[in-house]
Structure 1
Amino acid sequence: MSQDTLVKRQFGHRARLALSPAGVRKADDQAHAARTMWNLLHAWWRMMPKEKRTLTNADAAIRQARGDIDFLAVLPAQAARAVLKTYFQAWKNCWDGRADAPNFKGRLRTVMSVDVPQGRDLNIIRVHRRWGMANLSKVGRVRFRWTKDLPVGKRAGLENRVTGARLVKDALGWHIAFRVQALQVKPEPHQGPEIGIDVGVTVPIALSDGETYEHDEWLTEREQAKLLHLEQRAARRKRHRTPGERTSRRLHHTYDQIAGLRAKAKRRALDWQHKTTTTIARTYGTVVVEALTITNMVKSARGTIEEPGKNVAQKSGLNRSISGEAWGRTVTMLTYKTARLGGTLHKVPAPNTSQRCSGCGLTTPGSRESQAVFVCKNPDCGWSGNADWNAARNVLHLYRMGLALVPAAGRAVSRRAKRVEPAAAR
């Protein structure tokens, strides 16, 4: 097989770890040490003169800190060096305008994580149909859920291998995210039909051929009632705290229960999105979506003191519904899945796709009679149908008319990133 037909693919795979209580404590200690290491680097950076902010000097400072502070010694040396590289890369991203400047990481608002830079140190093996094992430095041999085949054992090589991993903790416990590199056959162009997609709140995904993809609530009625009860309990306990009083263990436990239910809902939403986008990418060769600016759509309608907003509560509910559907994540999944299967994804301008009639092409006031029904008020047309189907047909029509948007070559430079660090400090 020639090299022209092969393509190198890099992807991630996340699996749930089965840690013992002792293993959980060790992983927690490493995550706190990694966060502390980041904060010490940040303080060192702000303290040192610009000409001494080099990778060599920072590495020497880290070595000295790990030798002087026992708490930092629980973090493996390679993980500490990964924190250093990540911090310097964060400043490079800031100077290039891709992100804001790195800052202090608080204990409560920071995701607990530990990096494993070298994949060969994991020594991954499959021990059961549903379980695999990996070696974590200073934690030991741990089990993880085997839900996807990994290039280990005889299939591992220079081109197909696990290059590293990252331990991440959420409300459901510790997970391991593998970084996988694979050499695969370049996909042939997808011969499937073209399809337009309209995303919404009532109907999450509507296709231009009339197909729709819907889902139930992410939490059952019993789970929703429990979540409401926990939120009310947390509000009561928080209301009775005096200013400056330390948060009680009971309140922390209530917060953990709330986070667990929300994490369960997010996991179910991700599962539905992955299955739905995979089906679409396998069926259609060209996928067309709207270029939505979601951050503007979920802005608050509260307004100001001089000009207060209207229907603030209704707008807040709509914002929560839009954020819950995660339209941007759906588009991201479709982007890489269509490319992996030989298809393409295009974006078209979003204005008036829900108001324009897909039958005659005219935008007549009053045609959108309700959230679900579209009836064209043009006397010469009179087309009627589902409103989401009508919008999806308009999305596909814009692409066929040659109005697909061309991706920008680069992102706009952040104004905050410009003023944080002058070019001389690079």
Structure 2
Amino acid sequence: MEPEKRARAHIARLDLDKRQSAVLDGQAHTARALWNLLHEYFTFRQGRFASLKQCDEAIRAARHEIEWMKELPAQAAQAVLKTYRQAWANFFNPDHPAKRPTFKGRFRSRMAVDIPQARDLQIKRVNRRWGAVSLPKVGRVRFRWTKDLPGLTKDAPAGRITGARLVKDAFGWQIVFRTQTTAAVLAPAHPGPVVGIDRGITVALALSDGTTREHGPWLTGGERERLRRLEKKAARRRAPGQPASHRLIRTYAQIARLRATAKRRAVDWQHQTTTELAEVFSMVVVEDLHITNMVRSAKGTIEQPGRNVAQKAGLNRAITGEGWGRTVTLLGYKTADRGGQVIKVPAPGTSITCHRCGHRDATSRNGIRFACSNPVCAWTGHADTNAAINIRNAAGTVVSGRGDLGAARSVKRQPPRAA
């Protein structure tokens, strides 16, 4: 059986001193400036897009003429060009949701530096908790060793590290190792049962077997109160049309740390929950939700203003906080690794249809309670459980699948056919 190569990522926290952190900050700002220069050169060159060769020559010339461009390693500069070209390829791909590449702002873009070649990393394990890695123009840096990396330890899976990316968040710099492992083309069939999952807000995940997977608030009461006070403080210090003061920037950093804390807890819960589901069930059926459309603003226009704007904004925040798309993404590769699959089915009608008799009536659902309006049936129960059963029963009307080599592609994302 021929081996299959699987790409995975592993994130580890870097232990940097002030000098090393400042060097990485400078490299990240240079990478962002290079992106903006590339975008200007690529899109405004006499009305025609520049070729890859022309962009590469422009980068080499800029590194000789502009002194601060040398802060960014040459390989990282080439990675910026590769990422930029890939962004355009994704935009022109009718099956990809990517938007048109634009300029990157200083405070709204994520600071990142790419290390495309793994040979420059020289990874070594120092002790049980720490490892060491070499970063270009930074030096030897320690990182938290929380997982065995392929090709480095005996217990690690077979494979290798192909590169890394340095990313900065509210807690500092972290390294994302790009790994490539080998596995059988087809994993043994999963012996577990089939389950339908309804994603919600009141109940995070409702399963067709009658169980639920729920969580508490991502922030404690004290943390939520502190976040509220910091947001009010930032609103008072914000001056329209004026650059942000140092005090306002510090307040923004405190807000970002609290929000990053909430996200880390959410992602941790999602990882634990999806791992448990992937190990128990052989097939997971979910709705094919277009989340981007669901969280659109309801403000409308001046001529036609929206209604219930504040309520819709709160609903959008709740949906975004649950990370529905991330849950399905995690389930996708985890079930595939265990021989299972994730199936997407059409979403309309699953929450207002009785799973027992098939009667569809919007008045049957009242909050979390579902009472079938068909007098012959009159089934009552939890509304989310009823929706999950409908989702499981709709597995025959497949929209898309992952983990199954013969699963159909999404009919809503296919490019239009030529007339």
TM-score by length of structure 2 reads 0.91
Give the alignment of 1:366-381 within 5 angstroms.
Answer: 366-368=363-365, 370-381=366-377
Match of 2:223 in 1: 223
Task: Describe the superposition over 1:233-252 as per-residue Cα deviations: whole angstroms up to 9, x where unpaired.
Answer: 000111xx3x5432110000
Counterpart of 1:293, as a letter, is H
* 397, 408, 422: which one aligns with 2:410: 408
Per-residue deviation, 1:72? 1.1
Give the alignment of 1:33-48 within 5 angstroms.
Answer: 33-48=30-45
Match of 2:402 in 1: none
Residue 284 of structure 2 is aligned to residue 290 of structure 1: no
Task: Describe the superposition over 1:369-401 as per-residue Cα deviations: whole angstroms up to 9, x where unpaired.
Answer: x322112222211211111111111111112xx
Residue 233 of structure 2 is aligned to residue 233 of structure 1: yes
Residue 106 of structure 2 is aligned to residue 107 of structure 1: yes
Task: Describe the superposition over 1:88-116 as per-residue Cα deviations: whole angstroms up to 9, x where unpaired.
Answer: 23333334344343222221111110000
Indicate if the aligned counterparts of 1:357 and 1:376 stay in contact, CA closer than 8 A: yes
Give the alignment of 1:270-419 within 5 angstroms.
Answer: 270-368=267-365, 370-399=366-395, 402-405=396-399, 406-408=408-410, 411=413
SS in 1 for 2:148: coil
Q: Take 1:156 and 1:222, find their aligned partners in 2: how far apart are those partners?
A: 42
User: Which structure exhibits the higher relative contact order, with contacts defined as CA atoms closer than 8 Å and separated by 6 or more residues?
Assistant: 1
Match of 1:421 in 2: none
Task: Describe the superposition over 1:156-210 as per-residue Cα deviations: whole angstroms up to 9, x where unpaired.
Answer: 99x7110000000111111111100111234201111000101110000010001
Counterpart of 1:228, as a letter, is R
Task: Describe the superposition over 1:340-370 as per-residue Cα deviations: whole angstroms up to 9, x where unpaired.
Answer: 11101111111111111122221245321x3
Give the alignment of 1:6-405 within 5 angstroms.
Answer: 6-48=3-45, 53-97=50-94, 98=96, 99-153=98-152, 160-185=159-184, 186-238=186-238, 241=239, 243-368=240-365, 370-399=366-395, 402-405=396-399
Q: Take 1:356 and 1:213, find their aligned partners in 2: how far apart are those partners?
A: 22
SS in 2 for 1:11: strand
Structure 1's 50 and 120: CA in aligned 2 closer, same or farther, altered over 3 A? farther
Structure 1's 101 and 296: CA in aligned 2 closer, same or farther, altered over 3 A? closer
Indicate if the aligned counterparts of 1:365 and 1:377 stay in contact, CA closer than 8 A: no
Q: Take 2:9 and 2:250, find their aligned partners in 1: how far apart are those partners?
A: 32
Q: Take 1:310 and 1:77, find their aligned partners in 2: how far apart are those partners?
A: 52
Counterpart of 1:134, as a letter, is V
Indicate if the aligned counterparts of 1:198 and 1:392 stay in contact, CA closer than 8 A: yes
Indicate if the aligned counterparts of 1:125 and 1:152 stay in contact, CA closer than 8 A: no
Per-residue deviation, 1:67? 2.1
Task: Describe the superposition over 1:275-334 as per-residue Cα deviations: whole angstroms up to 9, x where unpaired.
Answer: 111110110001101111212222233334444433222222111111111111111111
SS in 2 for 1:354: coil
Deviates more, 1:288-297 or 1:59-68: 59-68
Task: Describe the superposition over 1:133-176 as per-residue Cα deviations: whole angstroms up to 9, x where unpaired.
Answer: 1100100111111111102436699x711000000011111111
Indicate if the aligned counterparts of 2:148 and 2:155 stay in contact, CA closer than 8 A: no
Q: Take 2:48 and 2:197, find their aligned partners in 1: how far apart are those partners?
A: 53
Match of 2:403 in 1: none
Indicate if the aligned counterparts of 1:133 and 1:141 stay in contact, CA closer than 8 A: yes
Counterpart of 2:138, as a letter, is V
Structure 1's 19 and 314: CA in aligned 2 closer, same or farther, altered over 3 A? same
Q: Take 1:104 and 1:162, find their aligned partners in 2: how far apart are those partners?
A: 31
Indicate if the aligned counterparts of 1:124 and 1:152 stay in contact, CA closer than 8 A: no
Structure 1's 244 and 365: CA in aligned 2 closer, same or farther, altered over 3 A? closer
Indicate if the aligned counterparts of 1:196 and 1:207 stay in contact, CA closer than 8 A: yes
Structure 1's 96 and 207: CA in aligned 2 closer, same or farther, altered over 3 A? closer
Match of 1:422 in 2: none
Counterpart of 1:220, as a letter, is T
Name stretches of at least 5 consecutive residues in structure 1 with no aligned partner: 415-426
Per-residue deviation, 1:51? 8.1
Per-residue deviation, 1:264? 0.7
Equivalences, count: 405
Counterpart of 2:190, as a letter, is H
Indicate if the aligned counterparts of 1:376 and 1:382 stay in contact, CA closer than 8 A: yes
Match of 2:405 in 1: none
Indicate if the aligned counterparts of 1:191 and 1:285 stay in contact, CA closer than 8 A: yes
Deviates more, 1:282-291 or 1:6-15: 6-15
TM-score by length of structure 1 reads 0.89
Per-residue deviation, 1:412? 5.7
Deviates more, 1:348-357 or 1:219-228: 348-357
Name stretches of at least 5 consecutive residues in structure 2 with no aligned partner: 400-407
SS in 2 for 1:366: helix
SS in 1 for 2:277: helix
